[in-house]
Amino acid sequence: MTVITSGHPSADLKLGEALFIRSPVKNGSKAESGNGPFAHVEISTENYSLSHLRSIVVRKGSSSVFRANHSIFGNMAVKVLRNLKEPSALSVPKIARMWQQEEHLMRGLSHPCIIKFFGSDARLSTIYMEYLPYPDLSGWIKTTISHRYLFSGNMDDARHFLRDIASALVYLEEQQVLHNDLKPGNIIYDRERGGVLIDFGLACTPRDACNGGTPWYLPPEFIEDGKREFASDVFALGVTMLYLLQKTRLPDVTEPGWLIPHVFTDVTQDRKMRALARKGGQAGAEAGGYWHRAGRAGHAGGGAGAEDIRRGYWAALE
């Protein structure tokens, strides 16, 4: 057995490799004997192994995701949080806070259209979730030149998605959780399983501030006050619906982006966001008001919730 003394054990785990986690024996604990540095280890649920089966997301911001076999949970997905810009001890407190926030929020969620939480390990900054062998919606794109980056599904897929993710948003509002990064790339979809919302790395409660996310899915109101509300997730649902209705190509790869944290300090970034907001309004009109309903109804003084928006979309789709 090789004892790892440097690097990040779970983040540096490669395809075909296995990681064995053992806790030192405590006084009076039942132990198993052997040779080497792990001659005595505590027998508990904190002792387990991970076998790397396939990379899912090699690097995404400050995390990576891979499919693994867990000795307790079985086949699953592993998310590893790691600061790629500052791979040193200085980044540990920041990663710990990020891990704690995401782990705490995910642990309290249970909904068929939200990725299932299995467990976690603070020692490795890991979160263990169900593995779904399906593509996310950003992979459902046409490849012909004339229709490139348009959604490759049909109206039934759009209805299925709307039913599932609107239901998830209603549930998240009840749980007082903002996702803050709803987009095609964070929704796994299969025609039998339906839509499943993933990646709660930017999720927070209404009391917390969040200046992250994906530019093309932020509501225009963010320009003015920088606030995020439940209706912000509903607005992102509206943008995603435009893509599923083939009223717009996947904006992540067809529209210019901007740096969200710099919108309020950099004139150039502010102009880029406002330009797309104006274009979004035109696209919303072409789509029969879908974007308008998602972005405005929830922000209106009446405080319409995700369920109200879902009913409005559903009526328009009939």
Helix/strand/coil percent split, the chain, to 5: 35, 20, 45
List pLDDT tens digits, range 60-78: 667 889 999 998 889 999 9
Q: Which residue has the tokens 């992979």?
A: 139
Q: Supply the pLDDT for residue 56.
A: 83
The vertex-96 CA angle with 91 and 99, nearest 5°, equals 125
Interatomic CA distance for residues 7 and 145, integer angstroms: 44
The DSSP output letter for 174 is H
**Which residues, including other chains, have CB under 8 Å from residue 67's CB and lie 6 or more apart?**
52, 53, 54, 55, 56, 75, 76, 77, 78, 131
Q: Could you give the C-alpha distances from 162 to 151, 156, 231, in angstroms and in order?
A: 14, 10, 15
43-49: which pairs have CB atoms within 8 A and are 24 or more residues apart? 45/72, 46/21, 47/21, 47/22, 47/23, 48/20, 48/21, 48/72, 49/18, 49/19, 49/20, 49/21
From 74, 77, 82, select the one nearest 66 (Cα to Cα): 77
What are the structural domains, with CATH classification, of the chain? 18-129 (3.30.200.20), 137-317 (1.10.510.10)
**Is the pLDDT at 1 greater than 60, yes or no?**
no
**Which helix (H) or strand (E) element contains residue 285?**
helix 267-286
- Inform me whether the pLDDT recorded for 168 exceeds 90: yes
User: CA-based angle 209:161:294, to the nearest 5?
Assistant: 50
| 117 touches 129 (CB < 8 A) | yes
- What is the per-residue pLDDT across 268-316, written as a single tens digit (0 to 9) for each? 656 666 666 666 555 444 433 444 444 444 444 344 455 555 565 555 5
At 103 the pLDDT is 95
Q: What pLDDT was estimated at residue 245?
A: 93
* Confidence at residue 95, expressed as pLDDT on a 0 to 100 scale: 86
Task: Reduce the DSSP state of residue 176 to 3 states and report it.
Answer: coil
